[in-house]
Amino acid sequence: MKPYRSEFIEVGGFESKRRIHVRIWGEPDAPKLFMLHGWGDVSATFQFLVDELKGDWQVIAPDWRGFGLSQWNGTPYWYPEYMVDLEGVLDHYAPDGQVDVVGHSLGGNVLCIYAGVRPQRFRRIATLEGFGLPDSGPGDAASHYAAWLDEVRDVTRFRDYADFAELAARLQKDNPRLTDERADYMARHLGQKRGDGRIAMAIDPCHRWRSPFRYRLDEAKACWREVTAPVLWLAARDSFVMKRFDGKEEEYAARKGCFRALREVVLDDCGHNMHHEYPGKVAALIDEFFGAE
């Protein structure tokens, strides 16, 4: 495996500062390629993808707040905070010039919105199944807020495990395409050993709560239309994200149509976590799109 180093930086301002953990692979003078992980994941699991890249990249991958080794909120999470994290990471590691960024799922959703908010910052972007969430209209606002109020009184944490092997087995149950080696590696980064020896998930329990703020697809689309960078849109044929669009081909096309320059690639026999399942295929597409040297 290619070695990485860990760093911690502070993002945000005033009383909202958060300590963010960042993993970095490659040499400091190599072209920078940022990678943003999905919900419930951590930056370490980009390792399989990094190992397959042929380009001479310096890969920079943060743990989002509340995941991995980054600071927890201890309060509900919402999308604008992730944009604060992303802007802080880019300001720290690439304050000048344009950047190349890959985002998976949550990371892709945050990336695509932010790339419309700060279009001048980006040379190229790739979204791995970060295609926006289902629209949430105002009709069920009362029941949504009621459910959120119930959730914030719930102090239940994520399930824990007897050891890393049990967590790895759970990961393979959720994703049968994971090899034993990859499942073990992921378990040792997605989990943390407690004082009693059991393995707790490295996730703030507040991530279990829904956001009190609704996802507005029209607002996301308005941001997407401002993106000027070319976009690599990677989809997985067997993923739950793509199944949302079964019978909704026009909606799927409308989302893609918001971007000015988009290349779509659909991977067959592949689930949502494509970079865990087929890192070689994803790496080849990334090398090609971003222009590996």
Q: Residue 221's pLDDT is what? A: 97
**pLDDT of 14 higher than 80:** no
Sign of CA dihedral 263, 133, 224, 258: positive
Is the residue at 175 inside a domain? no
Asked whether residue 234 is assigned to any structural domain, the reply reads yes
**What is the mean pLDDT of the segment spanning 216-244?**
96
155 inside domain: no
200 part of a folded domain: no
Q: Which helix (H) or strand (E) holds 252?
A: helix 249-256
73 token code pair: 């909120």
DSSP class of residue 260? S
- Cα 275 to the center of its chain, rounded Å: 11
When divided into structural domains, the chain yields a total of 1
Confidence of residue 210 (pLDDT cuts 50, 70, 90): confident
Q: For residue 135, is pLDDT > 90? A: no
Residue 127 domain flag: yes
Q: Which of 23-27, 138-142, 143-147, 235-239 has the lowest mean pLDDT?
A: 138-142
pLDDT at 222: 98
What are the CA-CA distances from residue 20 to residues 136, 257, 285 (Å)?
A: 30, 34, 28
Question: Residue 271 is part of a domain; what is its CATH number?
Answer: 3.40.50.1820
Structural domain contains residue 31: yes
- What's the rounded mean pLDDT across residues 270-287? 97
Q: Residue 277 domain-assigned? A: yes
Instruction: With a cut of 80, say whether residue 137 has pLDDT above it.
Output: no
pLDDT of residue 22: 98
Lowest mean pLDDT segment, chosen from 123-137, 144-158, 172-186, 210-224: 144-158
What's the predicted TM-score (pTM) here? 0.95
Residue 130: CB atoms within 10 A of its CB come to: 25
Asked whether residue 109 is domain-assigned, the answer is yes
Sign, CA dihedral 134-137-140-145, equals: positive
Higher pLDDT, 151 or 67: 67
Q: Which domain holds residue 127?
A: 4-134+215-290
| Mean pLDDT of the residues in the chain | 94
Residue 83's nearest CA partner among 55, 116, 41, 40 is: 116
